[in-house]
Structures are given as structure tokens and as C-alpha cells.
Chains A and B, each alone.
Chain A
Amino acid sequence: MSISTPTPAHSLSPGASQEPSSAPHRMPFARWMSEIGWRHVVAVAAMAFAIFPILFVVSASLNPLGTVSSSGLLPTAFSLTHYQELLRGARGPFLQWYLNTVIVCGVVALVQVFLSTLAAYAFSRFRFTGRRIGLLSLLLVMMFPAILAMIAVYTMLSGLGQVVPFLGLNSLPGYIVVLLGGSLGQVWLIKGFFDTVPKELDEAAIIDGCTHWQVFTKILLPTLTPILATTVLLALVGVLSEFLLGSIFLTADDKKTLAVGLYGLLQGDRSNNLGVFAAGSVMIMIPVIILYQFLQRYIVGGATAGAVKG
């Protein structure tokens, strides 16, 4: 990329003082600053904005007082009491909540992506009557805010619970099947991925005698495995945040998910339970953040494929 008119430096952000010092010495400082340096300044300011709430959570979780008034960005004292309290089960069966959450999020995300993948394969590779209408009405139905039909879902689930007790209200399987109502939520995204794989590939396979199922499992799935894994992760974090239906369906303490349980804790006493809530949050956030870092490349790729392919 050739060098040309420098971008005006007036777009410097207010946090200009934190400019990094590791300038390459090939060009004069003023010019480096006007072409590249300011980008670092903007990036550092943006990083500060992105990270300060996370810092706050970590610092609040280590603050032994655990109140809103005593928590700041940097920990003033170091103590693991909130973590111990949670893990010991003093504030409700935290480990049970964690397990419930792993089960619910894992099952829902996996099934959701798998069923979406099946449907996306049909939409991407077959031409059939009702296909266009199907795709468009899917977009419309997924826009319906599910919580508005909550009363109906509640009535239905309590009826189902009478027939099959383990699927009723206040049971994890019941909660899971309700969330699976969104099973086709990822169809558009995954269809975008499928569309990027050349059709010639499966046509060749079919000529070689593959069935449509073999094309799906032996050619398309392996090609898209990384990006599908990322979709699972994104779906999983989506389910992690579901707390409204959960707070209605899962009322027994040992059936709650983390979102429901921690929300209840914080609601109990907003200003004094902050430390415990923060400690719980850290234990949820850390694994997710680490996974995101590992899958970063695919997350960027996945989001973009969705963008470019619509």
C-alpha cells in the first residue's frame, strides 16, 4: 500500500496522552504520528472503553466488602471470600447451577445448530416448492418475541408435564425443549456458509454414487466444521443469557441456571450482594472469553460470511 496524503490528525481522541512509544524509526515521528500513531491512540482508548467493565467485575469479585459503594476499577484489597462462599454453596447450590447451565446451554446450542444445519442444507442444495416462502417466513417467525407468548408456553408446558412428568414445569428437560422452539434460528447464517461451498463438489459426489445424506455428512460438514463449531459457541452464549423464561419455569433452587440464580442473588440485595454476583460472573466469563480468543479467527470469519452472503 503506497503512502499518500496523511489523514488529518484532528480525529485524535481525547485520550491522546497514552500514546505508545514503540515507534518504528524509519520515518520521522510527526509523520509516523499522523499516519499510524493516532491509530494506536484510538485503539488504546477503545480498549479502555471495552475493558473497564470487565476490570470492574474482577475487582468487585475480589473486594471482601462486596458492596457497590466500596467497589472500584482497581481492587483495593484481595480476598477470595466471595468465591469460597459461592463454591461452598452458602448462597444457593452454585455448582448445581453451573452444571445445569452447562447442560442446558450445551444441549440447546448443539441441537439448535444441528437442526439448523439440516434445514440449511435443504434450503441451500434443493429446489422445491415453498422454498422461498419458507425462508422468508422463517425470518419473520424468528422475529416474534418469544416472551410475548409466554403465557401460552406456560400453559402448554404444564399440560405436557402431566403427560410426561420429566418434561413439565420446573424441570431442565422441559426448559430445554421450550428453548428448542428456536431450533431454526441459525438457518439463514448456516445457509450462507453452505452457499459458499461450490455446488460442483456435491454434484461430482452424487455422480460417484453418494446419497444426499453422504454428501451432507462426508463433504459439506467436514468443510464447515470450524465455522459450525463457532456457531455453536455463539448460540451457547446466547442461551447463557436467557433468564426470563428460566425465571418463570425454573423455580426450585436446584433446577436454576446461573443466569436465573445469580439474578436472584443480585435482586435480593442489589447493593450488598455485588461481590458474590461478580465472583459468579467471573467464573462464567473466563471460560467464554478464553474460548472466544481461541476461536477468534473463525468468529470473524463466521460473522463475515453471514454478512457477505446475507
Chain B
Amino acid sequence: MPSTHAPAHRERTTTIPTILARVLFLGAVLAVAAFSVPVMIQLQQWMWLSIVVLATIAIFALYSTKRFVPGKYLFPGTLFLVVFLITPIILTIGYSFTNFGDGTRGTKEQAIDSIVANSVQQSDDSTWYNLSVATQGDPVEGPFTLFLVDPGTGTVYQGDETAPVQEVPSGDVEVTSGFVTDADGYTILDAREVNTAYDTIQQLAVPITDSEAVRIQGANQAFEGSTVLSYDEASDTLTDSRSGEVYSVGTVGDTEYFVNADGERAFSQSWLQGVGLSNYERLFTNAGIAKQFGAAFVWTLVFSIGSVLLTFVVGFALALVLNDERVKGRRLYRSVLLMPYAVPGFISLLVWSNFYNRDFGLINETLGLHLNWMGDPTLAKAAVLLTNLWMGFPYMFIVSTGALQSIPSDVMEAARMDGASRLQTTIKVVTPLLLVAVAPLLVASFAFNFNNFNAIQLLTEGGPFLPGEYTRGGTDILISMIYRIAFGGSGADFGFASAVSVALFALTGVLAAIQFRFTTVLEDVN
């Protein structure tokens, strides 16, 4: 990798501090790698292991010699980019060929364990526990851990789906009136949170031994019982010891489940499997989804192009109006017009969402209107655009002001001497010059708005929804719709969501390529 201007044969001075710094740095890298590699092998984190090994090799190759000078500067940022942006993209593409989702997160062994533990039946001599539900993650999504207090002995136990029940040293938890109320490293769910997540919590079965497990009854009770189902590895079947029924592995839809003799799905649990192209087939052949996708695409284009045009026209017009040296107080005007740009976006959006309240919102109240902004799809779209105008016009104003000032004044003087009026000069000379200068920024702004998730999610959450329509709301752009498919309501279907994400990414890429052609960015890279 030769550089054009650095004289290649010059002997550069090598000082002792620089060598020392280099040795210390490379030594530190090696130390980190040596510390983390065994841990990663032990935890079977193969992906992180390969990242660490490759990064260490790259660092030594780049920084121990004097070669690859551009690489030395490019490497640090590229490392983060590859690890936290490109790797997830590749993983997402991988997920799009699987059935990854709720109920299919784990391995087949985990699914079997869960099915068996869930078959726990209460018997007359079951032990009952006082239950507290805790989490180290999210109070809605889990994962949940159960804290159990034996009311007879006062002994505290804990366990979750993967970790069997074990006794907890009394110092680690705080027990108030028979219930665990505080535990190190955990958040205890309050009654309301338990209620919200009850459907998930109710499914929990915490194994004690192979044939015994703890299940939940009500919000604060759990019982110990024995399992009815057992797994036979040789025949790969589950057997119900009460009814004698045998369940074997069979395919339902595109996913393998345990099915009964008639081939019907017997348990909701499944495991992570490759499903080929079926997620993509579903996306492109399911008429309902394809139609919603198309409609959302049209509005996404209208929204992003409309936002760019509106903000640019307003910003540019203001820049033109104020770009006259005879106007006093321009500094003050500019300072104030800059302010919306300084307000963090999430605040602006949440505040504006209050303005559209039908009964008390500022807009209806001030203007004496009774418009149902968030209930009518057309009004809601207008509201989204108006808000985006407020958030975006200062940027366009700044950019246009700067670009206007960089247009040489002799160009305008020449036009004026040729007899052009002020208006003609503006339209025929200034505007084209300025458009050339700001075109790349307009493209960037379009690309940003095309996937401007926050603008929709914080303002309207995609709404309003037509009666009976849950996939796409009136203001949903593609990305907010995908977000709802992936994480909304009825069970997360990550495999399908990944397929839609990949489709959206491809779409973004195509649009970007088209724009590159128009703005000649491709030709101009120097």
C-alpha cells in the first residue's frame, strides 16, 4: 500500500519512547487475549473467540511493522464497525433462514427439559412455597427467576428454567413476612408487573430432579410436583405415564415439534432449526403481508421525500430571506432558529405528541379546532410531517446559509449587470449553485428519514390502526412495521422479522445506489 506523497525511502527517526509505547501496547493486547481466550473456550463463546483471535493477529500484523500505514489509521474504527454492525447484520441474515423466535430459542435438549418440567402435576402431598418472581433482565420479557420460601421451615430457595432449585444462603436475600422482598443482583417484580408478565411466568417450570419440578399457582404461590412425561433418547419420543400416549418428532408448518399419533402439534415448545427459504416465501407470497408491505413502502417514500422537501424548502427560503446584509438582528434570528436543532430528538417528539391530543392538545386548543389528529390516518400523517418539519428545518437553514455565503458574490453581480432582477438571480443562478452543493446532504437526509424509526415510534407508535388491522397503522413506515412484527404482541417471530429486515436492508441499498447515480457521488470520490 504505497502512499503517493510520502517519500518511500526516507529513513524515519525511531525514538526510544515510541518503541517503548509500541511494545507496551502490543504486550497489553497480548495479555488481554491470553486472559480471555481460555474463558471463552470454557464458555463455548466461539464467535467471540474468533473475534479476539482475529483482532489480535490483525493488531500485531498492523502495528508491529512500519508497513500498511493507512491500515493503522483505519483499523480501530473498522474493528468496532465489524464487530457491532457487520457481524450482527450477518447473524441477522443467518437468523432469516431459521425459525428463531419465542419457544424456539434454545436447543432440542432445552425444549425437552422444558416440556417435561411443564408436565408437573400437583399431588395431595405437594409442598407449597411462598413465591416471589425476580428478574435480572426485563420485568416483562424476563428471564425470570423464582424465589421460594418454605413456610414451614423458612428456608429460601431459588431456581429458574435452566438452573435447578437450590438453597439460598440467608445473607443474600431479605425475607419480609414470609416472602423474599430483596435479593442481590435481582429486581423483585411487584404485583402489577407479575400480572403483566403472568402468561410467561405461568409457563415456568423449575426442575428439582429429573422427575420433579416447581410450578406456579396464582401470583404468590408455587407447588412442588412430579412430572408425568418422560423422554426416551433411543426412540426420540416423549411418553405420558398416565395416559400411555407417545409423542414423536414431526414437522408442523416449517418447524419440528413433538406431535401426537395423529401428527398434531402436542406442545408449543420447539427448538432452533433451519427452515430454508420459508420465511422469505411467507413474505413474498402471503398476499396480506405483501400488500401491507407495499402500502407501508409507499408511505415511507412519501414521508422521507416529503420530510426532505419540506425542511429544505422552508430552511432554504429562510436562509434566502435572511441573507441580506441590510437586515439588522440576523444573529439573533439565526440563534433562535437554530434552537430546535439543539433539542434532543426524543424530547421534541414526545412533546409534540402531546400537542396533538384531541381534547387538551396545544394545537386544537390554541386554534380552536376539534381535529382528531391521532385518530384520522390523513391528519396523523400530516402531524408526523409537521413535527419532522420543525425538527429538520433548522439544519437545512444552517446548511443553506453556509452554502449561500460560499457562493462567490461576483457570480451574482455578473447576473445583475446582465439585467437580471433580484428574483431572477435567486431562481436562475443562486438556487442551482446551492442545490449542487447541498445535494449530498439531501440524499443523506432522505436515507436517514427512510429509516427514521424514532420519529414514528415516539410520535404515533405507527397509529392510528384501522379496526381489525394490527400489522400496519396509518403512519407506519417500513421499519416501525417490522419492529411491530418482530417484537409486538403475539409471540416474537425473530426468524421472520430477520427476513423482513434483510429485505428492507436490500431495499435501502438499492435506493442508495440509485441516489449515488443521481448525485454523482460515485464519480466524484477523490
Contact = CB atoms under 8 A, between A and B. Distances in A.
Interface string B487-526: 0000000100110010011001100100010010110111
B351 A118 contact: no
B95 A152 contact: yes
Interface string B431-442: 000000110110
Interface stretch (B133-141, B213-221, B255-263): B133-141
Contacts of B138: 248, 251
A293 to B, nearest CB: 6
B422 A4 contact: yes
Interface in B86-103: 86-89, 91-92, 95, 100
Shortest Cβ-Cβ A-B pairs, 5 listed: A304-B402, A181-B84, A149-B88, A115-B77, A152-B91
A244 B336 contact: no
Interface of A: 1-2, 4-5, 7-8, 22, 24, 35-36, 39-40, 42-43, 46-47, 49-51, 53-54, 56-57, 67-69, 71-73, 115-116, 118-119, 121-123, 125-129, 131-132, 134-136, 139-141, 143-153, 155-156, 159-160, 162-164, 169-170, 177-178, 180-184, 187, 195, 199, 202-203, 206-207, 209, 211-212, 216, 237, 240-241, 243-244, 248, 251-252, 259, 262-263, 266, 270-271, 274, 277-278, 281, 284-285, 288-289, 291-293, 296, 299-301, 303-304, 306-308, 310
What does DSSP make chain A's interface, helix, strand, loop or mixed? Answer: helix
A188 to B, nearest CB: 8
Nearest to A293: B335
Contact of B422 (A5, A40, A47, A53): A5
B350 interface: yes
Contacts of B78: 119, 184
A144 B92 CA distance: 12
B380 interface: no
Contact of B346 (A39, A152, A263): A263
A162 B36 CA distance: 11
B125 interface: no
A126 B1 contact: yes
B15 to A, nearest CB: 10
B338 to A, nearest CB: 6
A183 B72 CA distance: 15
A263 B459 CA distance: 12
B76 interface: yes
B6 A121 contact: no
Contact of A156 (B47, B346, B440): B47
Contacts of B24: none
Contact of A57 (B342, B347, B395): B347
A237 B342 contact: yes
Nearest to B330: A43
A221 B341 CA distance: 27
17 contacts: A43-B333, A56-B355, A56-B362, A68-B354, A72-B362, A122-B69, A127-B4, A128-B1, A150-B88, A181-B88, A206-B7, A241-B345, A241-B346, A270-B354, A292-B339, A307-B399, A307-B438
Interface of B: 1-7, 10, 12-13, 36, 39-40, 43, 45, 47-48, 69-74, 76-78, 80-81, 83-89, 91-92, 95, 100, 136-139, 187, 314, 318, 321-322, 324-329, 333-348, 350-352, 354-355, 357, 359-362, 365-366, 390, 394-395, 398-399, 401-403, 405-406, 416, 421-423, 437-438, 440-441, 447, 451, 453-454, 457-458, 479, 482-483, 486, 494, 497-498, 501, 504-505, 508-509, 512, 516, 519, 521-522, 524-526
Given A126-B69, A259-B346, A307-B440, 18 more contacts: A4-B422, A7-B423, A42-B318, A43-B327, A50-B339, A53-B340, A115-B77, A126-B4, A126-B70, A139-B512, A145-B453, A148-B505, A152-B95, A209-B13, A303-B399, A303-B441, A304-B401, A307-B441
Contacts of A139: 512, 521
A183 B86 CA distance: 12
Contacts of B494: 151
Nearest to A27: B326
B3 A308 contact: no
A310 B524 contact: yes
